[in-house]
Chain A
Amino acid sequence: MSAPATSPAGDLTTDPVDPRPFIEGTQTDQTINDTLLHHVFRGAGKGWWACFAVALAMLGCLVVALTVTLVKGIGAWGNNIPVGWAFDIINFVWWIGIGHAGTLISAILLLFQQKWRTSINRFAEAMTLFAVMCALLFPLIHTGRPWFAAYWLLPYPSVQGIWPQFKSPLVWDVFAVSTYFTISLLFWFLGLIPDLAALRDSATSKVKRTIYGMLAMGWRGSGRHWAEYKWAYLLLAGLSTPLVLSVHTIVSFDFATSVMPGWHTTIFPPYFVAGAIFSGFAMVMTWMIPARQFLGLKHVVTMRHLENMNKVMLATGMMVSYGYIMEHFIAWYSGNQYEFAQFFEVRQKGPLAPIYWLMIFCNVVTPQIFWFKRMRTSLAVMWVASILINVGMWCERFVIVVISLHRDFLPASWGSYAPTWVDICLFTGTIGLFSTLFLLFLKFVPAVAVTEVKELRHETEHDAHIEASLTAGVTGGSH
């Protein structure tokens, strides 16, 4: 029994392909508590405050932009006829897409029993939640009369006797996104409960104990609690799984069911989902790399995690590229002059073509560097790449929304588009909202699922132990 104590638990792994550990260094429950849990009770550092100040300032932009939008109307934006949708829907789709990584990591990887998800799932789930919150803002405020949109889109028995129009993808969106938000919130909160209880138990003041205690909802860590908890978690994971596919599929219907060249495409659902995961992982990377540095999470978020994520990005990036190729192929193969003009003239040579080419560079060229292990394991490279992919995916939505709309069927109706300061403020503002929520999350809630990491540590320790004894049995003891 002394072997585990002397050999670092994290050095052991059962994975014959990649022998690197998911938890580095010698860790005990105590060290994990210290590094992952108790930072909640320590005062925030200068760095956090600095970041928070910036985030709050950006959030201020959101308040200003929202006020202007509500007071003046959509005219405060750059939207026009023919470009009826622009930054509003671009940002909506972009944020929704970013949310997808969280759900994928939490749910699908859980179901596939991918152990490497453990250290990053909380982080990614929180990201989902905040991203969906940012996204949800847009469908509401982008309407001309949000005070009616807020409830006319819902199927309630109204005295007007009018239901929403169920043929409209926008109504589907309402269901898809609200379901997504609800499930994501529940899933995230459920996963937090044991950690909240741990916080309650180690709280340094009565106020904190009371708050965390209420949030922990009476968690005592009994066997029955654990059993029910595991089932609930698994069920929610099961519910979330189809959402990964359905939400962005339905978002893509906003475009795919229309008649616009550039929108009217059957490849949109899979291509949107792949793009969503692509951008979601990129966003996780963008935040994770600095966070593990500054929050001292290097031992639980290891290079192996990062490399796996890069591989996912490479895979989804290739899917997105395939989507681009197919769009262009079909535009040519269909012989439809409007489609052909949209893909080969307007996008590639039109006045907004630089955005198209930036998209190609970021989304098609950039992920190719992850074929190389040196690149996959270089923090600087992957961080820059993740930002480029975020930019690229935003450009993709710009291409789909604005470039498709600004030159459609009748050349006389063609227009152009330029955002106003309100548009830019609104986008910056949602980044501010996201950052603010994220920084608060990092400060007040364990950013890594402590319980799960401990569980993983115990599991790997246990596995190592068995393996060690087996090896000892066969060879007669190598230690």
Chain B
Amino acid sequence: MSCHDHDTAKPPGKRSGSLAIVAAGDETPAVAAGRKYWRSVEERSGSPDILKAAQREFPPGASELDGVSRRSFVQLLSASAALAGGVACQRPNHKIVPFVRRPPEVTPGNPLHFATAYSLEGFGSGLVVESHSGRPTKIEGNPDHPDTAGATNSIEQALILNLYDHNRARQIRHKGEPAAWKSLLAELATRSQTLAADGGAKLRFLVEPSASPLLADLRARILLRYPKAKFVSYSSVAAEGQSEGARLAFGRPLEVRNDLSQAAVIVSLDADFLVDGPEQIRLARQFAAARTPGANMNRLYVAEPCLTVTGGMADHRLRVRGSEITGLAQALVAELSKLPGAESLAPLAALPKSPAGPDAKWVAAVAKDLARARGKGLLIAGRRQPAAVHALVNAVNVALGNVGTTVTYWAPVLHDTSNGIESLRGLVEDIAAGSVETLIITASNPVYTAPADFKLDKLLARIPNTLYWGLYEDETAQVVTTFIPAAHPLESWGDVRGLGGRASLVQPLISPLWSGLTDADVLASLLGEGDLGSHQLVKEFWRKRAVSSGWNVGASFDGLWESWLAKGVIDKTAEMPDTSVATNPALLAGTLQPLLAQAPKGEGLELAFTVDQKVFDGRFGNNTWLQELPHPITKITWDNAILISKTTATRLGLETGDFARIEMAGGAQVTGPVYMQPGHADDTITVALGYGRSGSEEFARDVGFNVGALRSSRAPWFDRGVTLTKTSGHKKFGITQDHWSMEGREPAMETHLAEFMKEGSEFHERVEGRRAPVATIHTPVDYSTQPYKWAMSIDLNKCTGCNACVVACQSENNIPVVGRDNVRIGREMQWIRLDRYYSGEIEDPEVIHQPVACVHCETAPCEYVCPVNATVHSDEGLNEMVYNRCIGTRYCSNNCPYKARRFNFLDYHEDVPSTRKMATNPDVTVRSRGIMEKCTYCVQRIERTRIDARVEGRKIRDGEILTACQQGCPSQAIVFGSLNDPGSQVSRQHQDARRYDLLGELGTRPRTIYLARVRNPNPDLA
């Protein structure tokens, strides 16, 4: 595992090499922000400061205007004067202190890798972060982590950009004035006396859902000191239905874990499990692994209102309104109860039916399939579904004997069983009653995310002391009395727990860039331990824990501690599932009866809120990689939209791009642009949360529209009685793919399992025709004599279109962000284009995703047309771009049949802030204006591995090189290796019966091949 150098990991206590270059003096935090620990070459000359000051004078985007902005014009005019003038002659203002003695683990030019962890929805995923000279540059999954097994999702990949975000909060503010942590601690110390006086009766904590053992300990100690204080866990998108559903079904709070490794039949009720929720990476991996065509191939049914990534992978997809899923679940239960083996569900089947008649044929077929796959089936409900649906799902899984194989139930790993909007309601009521005097908020931006009817911003103003800890001075920061800037997870010490309860340590890769603090620091400050620092807090905690658990600490705890840090996982902390679960359907039926009556009713359209895969609940709004990421399904960048079906759009006289007003029965209204989404349920509107931010983040601001005003705590996910009216104006989205049809060309091949299993079927003929080399008058170059013949394969059966590879590639290869206006005119730079095609009915399409990057043609059309030899072939078959030589005729791109090349039309690195530049990978050239670029097969990784292999006097092993996309891919759809090694995985893939060459008929002889997708439809539904 080349990218996970445990052996060379530094002594973990030493905070990595980030302090390698330390400035002398200069302690004023506000002014020195961004340079406390870093002295770049640009900074030495002093000129970026001047430029930066100039940039600040104009609003963001001023430089995006067409033509030459006044500023660049003046810059040019003054350039000669500046060159002639003193800038170049100035001596550096700051001294650079190099290592006096180089730490043994640091070899200049070689990156180090450190294991750490990150938690988004309370559960931690293991990461391995690459660090160059103390700068973290690239995030990978930790292969030793049980849940993620080395993969990441797009958000985790993009975290690195948040770390270096120059919009991050830098300054503690107390009552509007800058303050120091020490003076704040002093004040907190006095206040804690007062608070402790009445047992903390008026003290409340609003925290992010978490499973952190350290935070649990701090909470426990705080509650000892302030017994009447209350902790409220809150996430606006928490799966409250799931925890409540488990409580209803089993009578006690349990957490649900799914396992697809043995699942033969998967039925998803509005669950986008492949890209949503804390289990997504593991589920994607397990799902894809079981997609290998054959007798054991799984089958996926999805019922959902709006087409999702999971819906796109479905063998059968049913579009239903979100609130009608309840009825569907009931129908499914009723159908199942008629089948042998699931009769125990009969009491539930007798419940009064919810309105709307789901597709009876579909339900019958699904029920039959689920019952057939007894013990190997799985019913999953999504986070948006109410507790009743989750309860029914649990009952079905228990009845079908799926517990233990495809689903397990666990005693809660999270601190709180309720951590969503219902949990916030209690706090809101307390505040309204005036019983809160001090509120400490570490939950992410609750003012923005809380339902509109809570009016949290107004309520917070009533509390005398509000303290908010956040990464940005966002909407919440604007209404609190005290604001504390958060340290980024890559700057923090801490711990998390995975889905199976296994703890991982969070260790910093770099000292806080802007004197940020951790949430542990903030909580500890109420215990008078705010000055200990989170490192000591977490280490001391685990020392006590090790001793109290009787673990073999050995000679010193440090050795054990360092082994945990190196591995990234504390194995002994794993827990076991609760195997004694049982349901009583009759009892459950009684409980569910009143709940089912509460289902949303009413005429008019239904409004559905959805969690965005890019900005999540809005917290990643300032992450430009994520904002510019094409949405996996709509391919919209830099925006959200009102998604409706074509039928509904036609009925309302709307078209894609039209602005429309959503009006709730209560009068709340929001205007946004419409996008017609194939496969969307009729009479339903889907809007993504997390957009239209108004905090201090410059990129997040005014991107998309905020639907928060429409969301009420009564109906946080689905609401009825909505009207949609066309208003004036038209929006041109920044969409990366306008054309959804394959035009009969079949770039992405697919077939059905039956067809695939039949020898000599029409499918096999077609595939055969698409892999035979095209006759040529030239003698093709023989690459078999080379030590390596690099090639890739992409399995369309496994690719879910989740986007992880796109961000991984962007991060690894220093790919710039271009902004919405440039995306609109087709200038996005991501090297991987995730092509998404629809086929079949526009209202009920089948979806197929196809990642296309440079396929490294052996006879590449781009190469012979370049007039200056800037794109040439390597001996090992890489189609190489020589950036230095490129003059930018764009002829290569014109002649590329795959259109896999990207051109730097403008200087996209021009306005990049200095801190942001720290995220660049030093192994990859930053391309200037006027240069063509494209996928290199991560040539820098090949060469680095080659060096390692040469040093050890051996050949590169198969699987030793992972390209960035391959490493990030949760479903392991991408394989890279050498075709000259007949046993390599990629060689086997190239021999696969599903292998075909994209556009191979042009004689390009691509090295990246595709494996056709095989769908596994139910013959009963044919």
Interface residues of A (CB under 8 A from B): 67-68, 71-76, 78-85, 142-146, 148-149, 152-153, 162-165, 167-171, 174, 254, 257-260, 337-338, 341, 405, 407-416, 418, 420-422
Question: Please, how many angstroms separate the alpha-carbon atoms of A408 and B888 in the complex?
Answer: 21
Residue in B850, B887, B928 whose beta carbon sits within 8 Å of that of A152 in the complex: B887
Interface centre among A83, A146, A411, by most chain B C-beta atoms within 10 angstroms, is: A411
Residue in B852, B897, B903 whose beta carbon sits within 8 Å of that of A144 in the complex: B903
Within the complex, what minimum Cβ distance (angstroms) separates B870 from chain A?
Answer: 8
Interface residues of B (CB under 8 A from A): 66-68, 72-73, 76, 737-745, 747, 822, 825-827, 833, 835-837, 850, 852, 861, 864-869, 885-891, 893-895, 897-899, 901-907, 928-932, 998-999, 1002
Is B739's CB under 8 angstroms from A411's CB? yes
Residue in A71, A146, A165 whose beta carbon sits within 8 Å of that of B866 in the complex: A165
Is A80's CB under 8 angstroms from B825's CB? yes
Question: Please, how many angstroms separate the alpha-carbon atoms of A410 and B853 in the complex?
Answer: 12
Residues of A within 8 A of B747 (CB): 409-412
Within the complex, what minimum Cβ distance (angstroms) separates B867 from chain A?
Answer: 4
Is B825's CB under 8 angstroms from A78's CB? yes
Question: Please, how many angstroms separate the alpha-carbon atoms of A146 and B741 in the complex?
Answer: 38
Residues of B within 8 A of A152 (CB): 867-868, 885, 887
Question: Please, how many angstroms separate the alpha-carbon atoms of A44 and B76 in the complex?
Answer: 39
Question: Please, how many angstroms separate the alpha-carbon atoms of A254 and B835 in the complex?
Answer: 29
Is A412's CB under 8 angstroms from B835's CB? yes
Question: Please, how many angstroms separate the alpha-carbon atoms of A66 and B645 in the complex?
Answer: 46
Residues of B within 8 A of A418 (CB): 825
Within the complex, what minimum Cβ distance (angstroms) separates B205 from chain A?
Answer: 49
The residue in chain B whose Cβ has the minimal distance to the Cβ of A140 is: B887
Question: Please, how many angstroms separate the alpha-carbon atoms of A412 and B900 in the complex?
Answer: 11
Within the complex, what minimum Cβ distance (angstroms) separates A179 from chain B?
Answer: 17
11 contacts between A and B (CB under 8 A): A67-B68, A68-B68, A76-B67, A82-B894, A84-B890, A143-B889, A260-B894, A411-B741, A413-B835, A414-B738, A416-B826
Interface centre among A254, A413, A418, by most chain B C-beta atoms within 10 angstroms, is: A413
Is B890's CB under 8 angstroms from A85's CB? yes
Given contacts A410-B897, A412-B739, A422-B66, are A74 and B905 in contact (CB under 8 A)?
yes
Residues of B within 8 A of A405 (CB): 894
Within the complex, what minimum Cβ distance (angstroms) separates B732 from chain A?
Answer: 11
Is A142's CB under 8 angstroms from B864's CB? no
Is B887's CB under 8 angstroms from A143's CB? yes
The residue in chain B whose Cβ has the minimal distance to the Cβ of A257 is: B865
Is B889's CB under 8 angstroms from A149's CB? yes
Residues of B within 8 A of A341 (CB): 743
Is B826's CB under 8 angstroms from A80's CB? yes
Question: Please, how many angstroms separate the alpha-carbon atoms of A144 and B737 in the complex?
Answer: 25
Residues of B within 8 A of A338 (CB): 745
Question: Please, how many angstroms separate the alpha-carbon atoms of A128 and B415 in the complex?
Answer: 82
Is B68's CB under 8 angstroms from A413's CB? no
Question: Please, how many angstroms separate the alpha-carbon atoms of A416 and B73 in the complex?
Answer: 30
Given contacts A75-B822, A165-B867, A257-B865, are A81 and B901 in contact (CB under 8 A)?
yes
Residues of B within 8 A of A162 (CB): 868-869, 885
Residue in B72, B737, B861, B887 whose beta carbon sits within 8 Å of that of A259 in the complex: B861
Question: Please, how many angstroms separate the alpha-carbon atoms of A174 and B837 in the complex?
Answer: 42
Question: Please, how many angstroms separate the alpha-carbon atoms of A341 and B891 in the complex?
Answer: 22
The residue in chain A whose Cβ has the minimal distance to the Cβ of B861 is: A259
Question: Please, how many angstroms separate the alpha-carbon atoms of A85 and B889 in the complex?
Answer: 9
Is B867's CB under 8 angstroms from A413's CB? no
Question: Please, how many angstroms separate the alpha-carbon atoms of A254 and B929 in the complex?
Answer: 24
Is A168's CB under 8 angstroms from B865's CB? yes
Question: Please, how many angstroms separate the alpha-carbon atoms of A420 and B825 in the complex?
Answer: 11
Question: Please, how many angstroms separate the alpha-carbon atoms of A411 and B73 in the complex?
Answer: 40
Is A81's CB under 8 angstroms from B898's CB? no
Residue in A80, A168, A257, A414 whose beta carbon sits within 8 Å of that of B827 in the complex: A80
Residue in B852, B865, B890 whose beta carbon sits within 8 Å of that of A412 in the complex: B852
**9 tightest A-B CB contacts, nearest first:** A144-B888, A144-B930, A412-B835, A84-B890, A75-B905, A75-B906, A80-B826, A413-B899, A170-B867
Question: Please, how many angstroms separate the alpha-carbon atoms of A357 and B747 in the complex?
Answer: 30
Is A85's CB under 8 angstroms from B906's CB? no
Question: Please, how many angstroms separate the alpha-carbon atoms of A418 and B826 in the complex?
Answer: 11
Within the complex, what minimum Cβ distance (angstroms) separates A425 from chain B?
Answer: 9
Is A81's CB under 8 angstroms from B902's CB? yes
Is B903's CB under 8 angstroms from A164's CB? no
Question: Please, how many angstroms separate the alpha-carbon atoms of A148 and B890 in the complex?
Answer: 14
Is A409's CB under 8 angstroms from B898's CB? yes
Residues of B within 8 A of A76 (CB): 66-68
Within the complex, what minimum Cβ distance (angstroms) separates B390 from chain A?
Answer: 37
Sample of 4 further A-B pairs with CB below 8 A, known A152-B867, A152-B868, A405-B894 = A170-B889, A409-B898, A411-B739, A416-B738
The residue in chain A whose Cβ has the minimal distance to the Cβ of B822 is: A75
Question: Please, how many angstroms separate the alpha-carbon atoms of A331 and B905 in the complex?
Answer: 33
Residues of A within 8 A of B833 (CB): 412-413
Interface centre among B737, B827, B893, by most chain A C-beta atoms within 10 angstroms, is: B893
Question: Please, how many angstroms separate the alpha-carbon atoms of A37 and B274 in the complex?
Answer: 83
Is A164's CB under 8 angstroms from B869's CB? yes
Within the complex, what minimum Cβ distance (angstroms) separates B437 from chain A?
Answer: 56
Question: Please, how many angstroms separate the alpha-carbon atoms of A310 and B885 in the complex?
Answer: 48
Is A80's CB under 8 angstroms from B905's CB? yes
Given contacts A75-B822, A80-B826, A421-B67, are A145 and B887 in contact (CB under 8 A)?
yes
Within the complex, what minimum Cβ distance (angstroms) separates A160 from chain B?
Answer: 8
The residue in chain B whose Cβ has the minimal distance to the Cβ of A336 is: B1001
Is B886's CB under 8 angstroms from A170's CB? no
Is A410's CB under 8 angstroms from B907's CB? no
Residue in A165, A408, A415 whose beta carbon sits within 8 Å of that of B869 in the complex: A165
Residues of B within 8 A of A174 (CB): 867
Interface centre among A83, A146, A174, A412, by most chain B C-beta atoms within 10 angstroms, is: A412
Given contacts A79-B905, A258-B894, A412-B850, are A73 and B868 in contact (CB under 8 A)?
no
Residue in A71, A254, A407 whose beta carbon sits within 8 Å of that of B72 in the complex: A71
Given contacts A84-B891, A412-B837, are A258 and B861 in contact (CB under 8 A)?
yes
Given contacts A72-B906, A80-B825, A84-B893, are A337 and B887 in contact (CB under 8 A)?
no
Residues of B within 8 A of A254 (CB): 891
Within the complex, what minimum Cβ distance (angstroms) separates A79 from chain B?
Answer: 7
Within the complex, what minimum Cβ distance (angstroms) separates A344 from chain B?
Answer: 12
Within the complex, what minimum Cβ distance (angstroms) separates B927 from chain A?
Answer: 10
Is B906's CB under 8 angstroms from A409's CB? no
Question: Please, how many angstroms separate the alpha-carbon atoms of A245 and B881 in the complex?
Answer: 35
Is A75's CB under 8 angstroms from B742's CB? no
Within the complex, what minimum Cβ distance (angstroms) separates A398 from chain B?
Answer: 15
Is B899's CB under 8 angstroms from A410's CB? yes
Within the complex, what minimum Cβ distance (angstroms) separates B201 from chain A?
Answer: 61
Question: Please, how many angstroms separate the alpha-carbon atoms of A260 and B897 in the complex?
Answer: 7
Residue in A72, A149, A408, A413 whose beta carbon sits within 8 Å of that of B887 in the complex: A149
Within the complex, what minimum Cβ distance (angstroms) separates B345 from chain A?
Answer: 45
Residues of B within 8 A of A142 (CB): 889
The residue in chain B whose Cβ has the minimal distance to the Cβ of A160 is: B885
Is A167's CB under 8 angstroms from B864's CB? yes
Is A168's CB under 8 angstroms from B739's CB? no
The residue in chain B whose Cβ has the minimal distance to the Cβ of A169 is: B865
Within the complex, what minimum Cβ distance (angstroms) separates B99 from chain A?
Answer: 37
Is A73's CB under 8 angstroms from B906's CB? yes
Question: Please, how many angstroms separate the alpha-carbon atoms of A83 and B827 in the complex?
Answer: 10
Is A73's CB under 8 angstroms from B929's CB? yes
Within the complex, what minimum Cβ distance (angstroms) separates A71 from chain B?
Answer: 5
Residues of A within 8 A of B76 (CB): 71
Residue in B68, B903, B907, B999 whose beta carbon sits within 8 Å of that of A84 in the complex: B903
Question: Please, how many angstroms separate the alpha-carbon atoms of A408 and B747 in the complex?
Answer: 12
Question: Please, how many angstroms separate the alpha-carbon atoms of A74 and B740 in the complex?
Answer: 29
Question: Please, how many angstroms separate the alpha-carbon atoms of A73 and B929 in the complex?
Answer: 7
Is A171's CB under 8 angstroms from B867's CB? yes
Is A144's CB under 8 angstroms from B739's CB? no
Question: Please, how many angstroms separate the alpha-carbon atoms of A394 and B929 in the complex?
Answer: 29
Is B903's CB under 8 angstroms from A74's CB? yes
Question: Please, how many angstroms separate the alpha-carbon atoms of A85 and B744 in the complex?
Answer: 27
Is B827's CB under 8 angstroms from A75's CB? yes
Residues of B within 8 A of A421 (CB): 66-67
Question: Please, how many angstroms separate the alpha-carbon atoms of A415 and B734 in the complex?
Answer: 12
